[in-house]
Amino acid sequence: MTLFSPTTVGSFTVQNRLSLAPMTRLRADENGVPGDLVAEYYAQRAGIGLLVTEGVFPSAESKAYPGQPGIAGTTQAEGWARVASAVHAAGGTVFMQLMHGGRVSHPGITGTPRIVAPSAIAIEGQTRLADGSKVDFPVPHALDTAELEAVREEFVAAARRAVDAGIDGVELHAANGYLLHEFLSPASNRREDGYGGSPAERARFVIEVAQAVAAEVGGERVGIRISPAHNIQDVWEHDADETRATYLALVEGLAPLDLAYLSILHENPADDLPQELRRAFGGTFIANTGFGRVTTRDEAIRTVGDGVADLVAVGRPAIANPDLVERWERGAEENPVDQATVYGPDERGYTDYPTLKADRAA
């Protein structure tokens, strides 16, 4: 197999083994509705085998950033229907990342009285509000056992809205320090109610969310993203044995669901832990090495060609090169990413990067 050969993801045939990494872009309106600009952005990149959207909040309380899109209601779903239609018209396949921000937020962002987490432990540091001011992360409300059911159902309802809007599937964001990841780490999860303590107990809520979402829309429409030992946003996983036990418990709990894929953010996907988790999962494996560095063409080709992963997630090169697949197939020069425009608010650094076709026409 090669990077440019087709494969299947769940029940979908995708045209190559590249995946658009889910990346925060912050171009939704003040109500979390993705507009025509967002639809254009994803449609431009439909040549990438599997598109995974930026993190989308399933409920008002789960919003993490100003400008983040949501799927919490009808108007937001209508915006995503336009995105799905544009992507499909361009021949693409798109999954929506469902992201509950957990304690990585502030009531000034969510517009709700509280933010929530597994335990009442705040992140050290500050976040930015819509007016540009910075505020300390507050101490979150520790979700009680009954409230966990409501959060789980928020994920289920969001997945249903997404699929009904025409989005092909959803990715559960259990990485990078957000709510589901917060349950997995002993640093952020100090619960004593069966959802915290041992590795299996810390993995329990994430498994239950995946089970419920898969039951609602079908496992073939559900992927999950994890980042073991990434150590970000105060979700610390420094103990290698503890981390291995936690993620094995998680993946072994997910394996019977026949999910579309497991996406792992890890600096070396050929290492023992990612490959052990891949075997335990038993399905499609997407590798993402590029959070702290840029994934290169040669690395992506080698990762798939050597059988390290089934697909490779790519971030910044796909931001700057909407025709990335063509460029990589041809070995053509890439546009550099303009880091200053990555996070909004308009078309600059979003939909205005040149393509090879435009260059030839000029």
User: What residue ranges define each of the domains in the chain, with the CATH number in brackets?
Assistant: 7-361 (3.20.20.70)
Beta strands (DSSP E) in the chain are 7-9, 12-14, 18-20, 50-56, 94-98, 116-117, 126-128, 134-136, 141-142, 169-174, 222-226, 261-265, 285-288, 311-314
Once rounded to an integer, what is the mean pLDDT over residues 93-98?
Answer: 98
How many C-beta atoms surround the C-beta of residue 234 within 10 A? 18
Q: Quick one: three-class SS letters along 37-91?
A: HHHHHHHHCCCCCEEEEEEEECCHHHCCCCCCCECCCHHHHHHHHHHHHHHHHCC
C-alpha neighbours within 13 Å on the C-beta side of residue 277: 30
The predicted structure's pLDDT at residue 187: 97
Instruction: Give 284-327 pLDDT, tens digit per residue.
Output: 999 999 777 899 999 999 999 999 999 999 999 999 999 999 99
Cα–Cα distances in angstroms (integers) from residue 10 to residues 213, 222, 283, in the given order = 14, 8, 9
Once rounded to an integer, what is the mean pLDDT over residues 168-195?
Answer: 98
The predicted structure's pLDDT at residue 46: 98
User: Looking at the predicted structure, is the pLDDT value of residue 114 above 70?
Assistant: yes
Indicate the average pLDDT of the chain.
97
The token pair at 132 is: 């540009």
Percent share of the chain, pLDDT over 70? 99
Once rounded to an integer, what is the mean pLDDT over residues 332-358?
Answer: 94
Cβ proximity of 315 and 23 under 8 Å? yes
The predicted structure's pLDDT at residue 290: 75
The predicted structure's pLDDT at residue 297: 97
The predicted structure's pLDDT at residue 70: 98
Tell me the C-alpha distance between 268 and 292, whole Å: 12
Instruction: Give 12-69 pLDDT, tens digit per residue.
Output: 999 999 999 999 999 999 999 999 999 999 999 999 999 999 999 999 999 999 999 9
Q: Residue 361 — very low, low, confident or very high, per pLDDT cuts 50/70/90?
A: low
Instruction: Give 19-34 pLDDT, tens digit per residue.
Output: 999 999 999 999 999 9
The predicted structure's pLDDT at residue 357: 82
Residues with catalytic roles: 178
Q: What phi, psi does 273 have (nearest 5°)?
A: -65, -55
Tell me the C-alpha distance between 80 and 36, whole Å: 10
- pTM, full prediction: 0.97
Tell me the C-alpha distance between 334 and 67, whole Å: 28
User: Looking at the predicted structure, is the pLDDT value of residue 360 above 70?
Assistant: no
The token pair at 140 is: 């979150």
